[in-house]
Amino acid sequence: MAEKAFEPVGIMGPQIFGLPIDRETLFSNHKEIYKKRVENRQRKLIVKLSFLKPFLKTGEKILLVTTGYSPINSLAQYATGFLFIYLKRSLFVFTNLRIFHVPTTPNYKFKQSISQILYVDCQAISLKGGTLAVQYAKYNTIEKFAAVALSERRKIKALIKRMPLSGAQSQLGRRSHLCPQCSYLLEAGKYTCDSCQLKFKNKIVTYILAILFPGGGYFYTRHYFIGLLNAIVEIFLLLYIVQTLQNVREKAEGSTTSLVVLCAIFVAVKIISVIHSTHFIKEFIPTKKQIQANPTAAKSRFKKQNQKTKDSK
């Protein structure tokens, strides 16, 4: 079913910081009973969503905001464990139409990246422990989001029961990213927005920088701290390899074995750097650091999407 044409949210009943909310749901617990502590936490989280207004449709209201982590590739996760999880912090915004997934910095600052999960695309949504599992109807795939905040878990379970999970009207079939400038749907593997031509960091450049320069992939994806750590480790290993190579030439005892071990460690560090950097690219990182959402562009993007849907038919 084609999406309705976008209209600015405007004044649509109760709002917080200009964002439309369902006050009774947002400030209540899982039993739909108002709690002051729930309101205080939701207000602290929703203040971080000032960027969200242009992405909302007419009649869409925020029901709950919580924290958690983006999906983590198992290989990338095992490579650095908790450090990598720390870099994948996210906000999750439950509305009456969908779930917004917002990758953030460790202190939950917007990173100019946002994706959506439409309820109608889902066969099932479940929460076990702190893991939110989303089963998409079209492709019968499951995506998992770890460490959902304990404070909202029971309420999320209650909300899930109310949502229209059928998959019968599925178009996208999976979580889809939106352009942070015009909110147009982005295509995986394509690094330019079809609507506003905003450019995003691309995988090929990430590969090249991660391989050729110490910390290059991390710096390119704007993970400066871990990039600095990676650069220090790689430079140290390179210097040590050069020194060991000199010892090999001088036929020092055990130097050949040391050289092989050092080279293996360097290659492993480099592979981890490439894996991590390309994983971050999947979040669609704009080449610009600061993006201003454009409501006018958002209005036109729905018309383009509707026309694209009709043409495909």
Q: Is residue 3 part of a domain?
A: no
Average pLDDT over the chain reads 85
Q: Are residues 170 and 271 in the same domain?
A: no
User: How many domains does the chain contain in total?
Assistant: 2
Residue 127 near residue 160 (C-beta atoms within 8 A): yes
Q: How far is CA 290 from the centre of its chain?
A: 17
At 126, the pLDDT band (50, 70, 90 cuts) reads: very high
Average of pLDDT values for 77-82? 56
At 119, the pLDDT band (50, 70, 90 cuts) reads: very high
Whether the per-residue pLDDT at 77 is higher than 70: the answer is: no
Residue 165 vs residue 227, higher pLDDT: 227
Pull the structure tokens for residue 41: 């936490």
Residue 185 near residue 305 (C-beta atoms within 8 A): yes
> What is the pLDDT, as a whole number, of residue 300?
54
> What is the pLDDT, as a whole number, of residue 3?
38
Q: Are residues 181 and 233 in the same domain?
A: no
Q: Are residues 64 and 190 in the same domain?
A: yes
At 73, the pLDDT band (50, 70, 90 cuts) reads: low
Q: Residue 84 belongs to a domain with what CATH number? A: 2.30.29.30
At 75, the pLDDT band (50, 70, 90 cuts) reads: low
Q: Are residues 108 and 244 in the same domain?
A: no
Q: Are residues 25 and 174 in the same domain?
A: yes
How many other β-carbons are positioned within 10 Å of the β-carbon of residue 261?
11
Q: Are residues 180 and 274 in the same domain?
A: no
Whether the per-residue pLDDT at 172 is higher than 80: the answer is: no
Closest CA to 185 of 53, 110, 281, 297: 297
Q: Are residues 272 and 169 in the same domain?
A: no
Q: Are residues 56 and 147 in the same domain?
A: yes
> What is the pLDDT, as a whole number, of residue 85?
65
Q: Are residues 96 and 238 in the same domain?
A: no
Of all residues in the chain, what percent carry a pLDDT higher than 90? 62
Q: Distance between CA 100 and CA 262 in Å, rounded?
A: 44
Of all residues in the chain, what percent carry a pLDDT higher than 70? 82
**How big is the CA angle at 207 (ends 147 and 229), to the nearest 5 degrees?**
60
Q: Is residue 114 part of a domain?
A: yes
pLDDT in tens, 237-281: 999 999 999 888 887 777 889 999 999 999 999 998 998 888 889
Pull the structure tokens for residue 256: 């050949």
Q: Are residues 209 and 182 in the same domain?
A: no
Average of pLDDT values for 149-166? 91
Residue 121 vs residue 167, higher pLDDT: 121
At 313, the pLDDT band (50, 70, 90 cuts) reads: very low
For residue 259, the enclosing domain spans 205-281
Q: Are residues 153 and 240 in the same domain?
A: no
Whether the per-residue pLDDT at 13 is higher than 50: the answer is: no
Picking from 199-208, 215-224, 274-283, 303-312, which range would have the lowest pLDDT averaged per residue? 303-312
